[in-house]
Structure 1
């Protein structure tokens, strides 16, 4: 078990990895291909990494929500990071999720991910029990004090049941505790508050603000965001890279059209019958079915206890792909 450092230590240890901050562009949360026995399918993971890097993405985020990280054992998590780091070999930065309920458990994941070569770690607020903003801040300070690489905060209220307060995010950014934010809250107004607050704060420099929403990338970049972490980019990396380039060129009309095409494609996440499965089973099953149909991964299995898509539901995924010109 990793020892608890003093939270004050983080204030005197600014850390930036080999890649410059702010990180920008498209940084997909990489799916974790599994075998029918639910082991990590390393050859398929390597093909997926090639598919993404070949699509022009600007970074990779392993062990996030789309990666099914919370369903994986610690050994499987370590294997995913090691595979990504070794296979990508420095072409793009590799961010690794260190997601768990409490600070000691997250510290163990940080130690494992950084030993495996991750360029940065991405950390949610603690969960299972309710936490006060002061406890959330202490959580991040303790993690940053122990991490040899930059720490990004992960705002995921749908899963951890805590919305990261804007003032806490900006205070931690000003202290050098966190190097960025992945905002998967879907709150564009809150996203804009962080962007404008970071820009206006005299002690915040190089802070990365990324949207985790597939549906509002153009709006997030227009608001001043640095990039996106869209799960759908596993399926269509070229589309999100194209969208990012159009936004940066100021071609907002064509960017809107590309965003709308991707929004239509994103409809695949709803193919699962809600009477027999949850939203995660449907969405993650659709992404993996799409990757299998496109020949990227060998098996579309999702982790237990997620419910697999039916053949009819997979056929609907194929229809979405065909409609987008991807099949």
Structure 2
């Protein structure tokens, strides 16, 4: 589990959207819609795909749905870009089971959070990641998501595992910009090679690239993948004024996540519902339904999404 997902000597880099999971009205995986979404992302120039992440509604999907998503995307992409499979679950044995499925269907890497539901000690999180790395023949990426799993991943622990060749990278969705800066500094100081740091904070991507991160995993990248590809290329070329302008355009578009009335639904229902509403309005997916118990956007809330897409030049 030492090689990065790109198969070269360097870390995974660039724009790696966490792919939405389109569902049918009967709540099955909508395979043709998923294939259209993947085609749109790849055509826009993304550098990889992360399936079964938070934006993919992984926590809401039964195991059979998860397998269908992995098989569909790996087969459809056919090696054109790396596919990372989320193997998120509560404890190590469950995560290993998901990871073996992901490896079997041909994913280029797997992505795992710390265990959750039970309160987990840092030593247990390290044990969890070590066991996962030992159990599968593909690179393992850690997913730092303290808002959902109630544990912040320790940077020194991550870099220690990376130095041993057990971790290929981390997706940092902690929102802790100081922690991210500290990790990037430590990565340079320790000289660990081939470790990919991907930011999940899609509204501060230019700042993260200025700190030295390797890539971004933007949920909004489902809606405007070309915008994030432009943003990444501006940062890569040092065109920081253009990068800032693109980031601020995307920040305004991101307001779609507030479409759902807070008195009626949770922020997750609003955000994931808005991404799917946007993809439906753009003609990419057939149905904007999200998995239960999430609450669906109504017509007025969908109109808010439409207005933002129009302002952003997408409709």
Q: TM-score range by the shorter chain?
A: over 0.9
Contact 1:113 1:121 in 2 (8 A): yes
Q: Match for 1:240 among 228, 231, 248?
A: 228
Deviations 1:273-313 (A, max 9, x none): 11111111000000000000000000000001100001000
Deviations 1:174-205 (A, max 9, x none): 12111100000111111111111112114x11
Q: How far did residue 221 of structure 1 move?
A: 0.4
Contact 1:210 1:225 in 2 (8 A): yes
The reply on whether 1:271 has 2:259 as its aligned counterpart is yes
TM-score, normalising length: structure 2: 0.98
Q: How far did residue 323 of structure 1 move?
A: 0.3
TM-score, normalising length: structure 1: 0.94
* Number of the residue aligned with 1:77: 66
Instruction: Quote the Cα distance in structure 1 between the aligned partners of 2:2 and 2:71.
Output: 25
Gaps of 5+ in 1: 1-12
Instruction: Quote the Cα distance in structure 2 between the aligned partners of 1:193 and 1:306.
Output: 36
Q: Match for 1:319 among 275, 282, 307?
A: 307
Q: How far did residue 16 of structure 1 move?
A: 4.3
Q: What pairs with 1:163-174 in structure 2 (closer than 5 Å)?
A: 163-174=152-163
Q: How far did residue 18 of structure 1 move?
A: 5.4
Q: What is the CA RMSD across the aligned residues, in angstroms? A: 0.9
* Number of the residue aligned with 1:230: 218
* Number of the residue aligned with 1:145: 134
The reply on whether 1:305 has 2:301 as its aligned counterpart is no
Q: What pairs with 1:28-177 in structure 2 (closer than 5 Å)?
A: 28-177=17-166
Contact 1:15 1:148 in 2 (8 A): no
Instruction: Quote the Cα distance in structure 2 between the aligned partners of 1:270 and 1:228.
Output: 22
* Number of the residue aligned with 1:188: 177
3-state SS of paired residue (1:191): helix
Q: How far did residue 19 of structure 1 move?
A: 2.6
Q: How far did residue 213 of structure 1 move?
A: 1.1
Q: How far did residue 14 of structure 1 move?
A: 3.2
Instruction: Quote the Cα distance in structure 1 between the aligned partners of 2:314 and 2:2.
Output: 43
* Number of the residue aligned with 2:2: 14
Q: How far did residue 75 of structure 1 move?
A: 0.9
3-state SS of paired residue (1:90): coil
Q: How far did residue 17 of structure 1 move?
A: 4.7
Gaps of 5+ in 2: none
How many positions carry a matched residue from both structures? Answer: 314
Instruction: Quote the Cα distance in structure 2 between the aligned partners of 1:182 and 1:233.
Output: 15
Q: How far did residue 103 of structure 1 move?
A: 0.1
- Structure 1 segments, 4+ long, off by >2 Å, are 13-21
